[in-house]
Structure 1
Amino acid sequence: MRIPYSPTLRLRRLAAELKQGRERSDLTVSQAGKALGWTASKISKIETTETRRITAGDLDRMMDLYKIHEPSKRQAMHALARDARERGWWSKYKEIFGSQALPDFEAEASVIKSFQALAIPGLLETREYAEAVFRGGRYTSPDEIERRVEARITRQEILTKVNPVHFRLVIDEAALRRTIGSPDVMAGQLRYMLHMAELPNIDIQVLPFSAGSHAALVAPFSILEFPDHLAPPIAHVDAVTDSVFFEEPDEVSRYSATFGDIQGTALSTAQSAQFIAEVLKTLEEEA
């Protein structure tokens, strides 16, 4: 059974609650460690999430020291600790997603804002399109390609689950014009995008060539927003070797401002659907 939440975000929330509890008790890291008979390093590693597993006994001792006595609060923090120990489905694809797995954060995002310039984003790819993408790279083993496609398709469940993520995509015209696989594969991909754009939680806007210069003449990026109680927004950029996450508020704000600018430059969702339909018609005529 796939867990419907992010263990990493649950751990971060727990760590933040414990740090706030220590600070409300006017204790330094060293003082808290001494009171518990622990090293300051142990407290620090818990608060910075370097320690991923916190035992129930250790958690109770910390809450006692920080005077967190409310039963519902203690139960909630124990629940966070249990959730943080779980392993998401993406853990078996570590060689694909890297040490910080994007699906870990996507699992609990309430909104994902994404700008894509070169290809259809993984969350909206058909299986045939994804296979063609990986065949065009350095992946030649059929088994490896299938494994990567499987991981990519599984990510898409966040769009159709109960309480799905709201996906807001701005996509450059170039990604629609570049034929990946074959005209038939590309036509199937565009039909699928039009189908998904009809869902109430998915907004697709096209940034046409006619827009000229715009604010996002940079690498594609995504911004993930979470329920208020869980975590602040983060920005994500795919790199050749790994994913890069930006979490500092000023960095995320710049990406958010850029996304707002290109949303204003792009076609409306209705105009974009018509634009995609016209590109699809041209493909079908050429086939």
Structure 2
Amino acid sequence: MQRPHSPTLRRRRLSAELKRARARAKLTTTQAIKSLGWAAGKLSQIENAETQKVKPDDLDKMLDLYEIKDPAKREALHALARDAKVRGWWSKYKEVFGPQSLPDFEAEASAIRTFEGLVVPGLLQTPDYAQAVIQGGRYTSAEEVERRVKARMERRDILTRFKPASLRVILDEAVLHRVIGSPPVMAEQLRHLLHMAKLPNIDLQVVPFAAGAHAAFVAPFSILDFPDPLDAPIVFVDTASGGLFLEESDEVESHIVTFGDVQGSAMSASQSARLITEVLKTLESKS
């Protein structure tokens, strides 16, 4: 089975490769535009990954100008351009995920680190729990709730597919005690967490109340790493308007440090599983 890829990442990788090729050819953007006979904004859109489609003829013109003659290299760049045009499954949920889609990046992520202080992260939610979370916000029609839940459930495939992404989750203990939906829904969710925590690609840790203040008294965030060294890590910060992507190296590094700090306040994976089990038993005894 072929592993899904991120069109956005492929587009960014292509733009980075073309910028490097132009620099190696010792051409300024002005010189390249003049030689290619293009309008001023066209090259800028390609080099800044602002266009989804780079025509094969246009790409060949750039490769000829930059004196890239190796057939294998040229084909690899054409493959990137083709992949950048492919629409992922998430495109049918554009109204759910928005124009810059988290699943687009999750599709190709090799590792994801997530901190959550209020609810179970979407990648680990059960359908009923996800429905309750979505219904807890602004009034939403039953049809839209169903569609949002379905979209969220499709995201989870990255954890169980062939060559799954590795997921490291840090939860504040408050997540375990906040009963979302109903006690049975919450119990099912906690059992699901324990099941997922047994998978070799998933690590789940809890920051206990006893830890007091910790480094992640901030908005929930995820750090996504990618297998290709040309693709720098990015940070996704959940917001009321859908989410924010951070890509500047200092912003990414700040969140990496924060994740490391809060991980230092968390219990081990086995201790965390025991705590989840205790909370689950208490919840079941009240049902």
Same fold (TM > 0.5): yes
CA distance in 2, matches of 1:144, 1:35: 51
Kindly state the Cα deviation for residue 134 of structure 1 after the two structures are TM-superposed. 1.3
Please state if 1:136 is matched with 2:136. yes
Give 1:14's aligned residue: 14
CA distance in 2, matches of 1:272, 1:186: 17
CA contact (8 A) 1:10 1:230 kept: no
CA contact (8 A) 1:223 1:235 kept: yes
CA distance in 2, matches of 1:183, 1:234: 36
Give 1:37's aligned residue: 37
* 2:27 counterpart SS class: coil
Give 2:58's aligned residue: 58
Kindly state the Cα deviation for residue 3 of structure 1 after the two structures are TM-superposed. 7.3
User: Compared with structure 1, are the counterparts of its residues 3 and 86 closer, same or farther at alpha carbon in structure 2 (3 Å cutoff)?
Assistant: farther
CA distance in 2, matches of 1:124, 1:139: 24
Give 1:268's aligned residue: 268
Query: C-alpha deviations, 1:126-183, integer Å up to 9, x for none?
Result: 0110111112111431111000000000000000011100000000111110000111
AA at the equivalent of 1:224: L
TM-score (norm: length of structure 1): 0.98
AA at the equivalent of 1:240: A
Give 1:115's aligned residue: 115
CA distance in 2, matches of 1:235, 1:225: 9
Kindly state the Cα deviation for residue 67 of structure 1 after the two structures are TM-superposed. 1.1
* 2:113 counterpart SS class: strand
CA contact (8 A) 1:13 1:231 kept: yes
Q: Which moved more, 1:274-283 or 1:36-45?
A: 36-45
**Which blocks of at least 5 consecutive residues in structure 1 are unaligned?**
none
Kindly state the Cα deviation for residue 42 of structure 1 after the two structures are TM-superposed. 1.0
CA contact (8 A) 2:3 2:162 kept: no
Give 1:179's aligned residue: 179
Query: C-alpha deviations, 1:51-72, integer Å up to 9, x for none?
Result: 2100111111101111111111
CA distance in 2, matches of 1:182, 1:12: 44
**Which blocks of at least 5 consecutive residues in structure 2 are unaligned?**
none
Give 1:79's aligned residue: 79
CA contact (8 A) 1:3 1:89 kept: no
CA distance in 1, matches of 2:139, 2:83: 35
CA distance in 1, matches of 2:41, 2:248: 24
Aligned length: 287
CA contact (8 A) 1:222 1:236 kept: yes
CA distance in 2, matches of 1:139, 1:203: 34
CA distance in 2, matches of 1:51, 1:137: 34
CA contact (8 A) 2:130 2:149 kept: yes
Kindly state the Cα deviation for residue 89 of structure 1 after the two structures are TM-superposed. 1.1
TM-score (norm: length of structure 2): 0.98
CA contact (8 A) 1:54 1:81 kept: yes
CA contact (8 A) 1:131 1:146 kept: yes
Q: Which moved more, 1:130-139 or 1:9-18?
A: 130-139
AA at the equivalent of 2:285: E
Aligned CA RMSD, in angstroms, stands at 1.3
AA at the equivalent of 2:280: L
Give 1:227's aligned residue: 227
CA distance in 2, matches of 1:242, 1:125: 18
Please state if 1:170 is matched with 2:191. no
AA at the equivalent of 1:228: D
Q: Which moved more, 1:22-31 or 1:87-96?
A: 87-96
Give 1:191's aligned residue: 191
CA contact (8 A) 1:233 1:247 kept: yes
Extract structure 1 runs of 4+ deviating beyond 4 A: none
Query: C-alpha deviations, 1:195-243, integer Å up to 9, x for none?
Result: 0000000000001111001111111111001113341000111111131
* 1:115 counterpart SS class: strand
CA distance in 1, matches of 2:123, 2:248: 25
Give 2:93's aligned residue: 93
